[in-house]
């Protein structure tokens, strides 16, 4: 990553005012980033602190998105890449949805895969939705399955929604069932 002085950061911002988008990390007052577009390519720059300047995280991408300090995705060469703390977690996939550090889903030619802290929770399904630790929903062949803390709550439902621990609802055979344990 290329380091930038505070003066270089200000110059870039001043000369790209029409094509710039700023991000803020509300959990870290010194962490922010911005992206700018030049010649139809995006560059993502993250501030290191108020006095030092920043660093270029990615250049010449088709698109970039910043989530928090040292976490971002970018589109280049036809695929998406997710970077967390200078480590490539997944690259060259069709789609990435980032939930929080260590938790994301991605889509490739075989379907969606849900990753939580390096562990594959489910893979090659039609869609996933993460709720909290080891709690998620997945759809396969138009049927929905709810998993809570690694245990299947309901499977092969027409629809299923998780609300909070042990509180969920699902629809099977056209009938809704509400569970509150």
d(CA 41, CA 93): 19
CA atoms within 13 A on the CB side of 28: 15
Instruction: Give the torsion through C-alpha atoms of 58, 59, 62, 64, to 10 deg.
Output: 30
**pLDDT per residue over 105-163, tens digit each?**
999 999 999 999 999 999 999 999 999 999 999 999 999 999 999 999 999 999 999 99
The pair of structure tokens assigned to 9 is 């950061």
CA angle 144, 146, 151 (to 5 degrees): 140
The pLDDT of residue 79 is above 70: yes
């Amino acid at each position: 990553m290329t380091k930038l002085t505070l003066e270089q950061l200000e110059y870039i911002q001043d000369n790209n005012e029409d094509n710039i988008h700023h991000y803020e990390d509300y959990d870290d007052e010194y962490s922010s980033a911005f992206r700018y577009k030049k010649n139809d390519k995006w560059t993502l720059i993250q501030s290191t602190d108020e006095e030092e300047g920043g660093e270029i995280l990615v250049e010449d991408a088709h698109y970039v998105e910043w989530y928090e300090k040292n976490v971002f995705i970018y589109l280049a060469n036809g695929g998406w890449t997710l970077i967390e703390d200078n480590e490539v977690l997944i690259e060259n996939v069709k789609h990435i949805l980032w939930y929080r550090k260590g938790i994301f889903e991605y889509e490739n030619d075989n379907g969606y895969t849900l990753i939580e802290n390096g562990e594959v929770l489910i893979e090659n399904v039609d869609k996933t939705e993460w709720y909290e630790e080891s709690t998620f929903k997945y759809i396969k062949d138009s049927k929905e399955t709810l998993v809570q803390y690694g245990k299947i709550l309901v499977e092969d439902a027409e629809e299923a929604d998780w609300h909070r621990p042990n509180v969920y609802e699902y629809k099977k055979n056209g009938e809704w069932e509400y569970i509150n344990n």
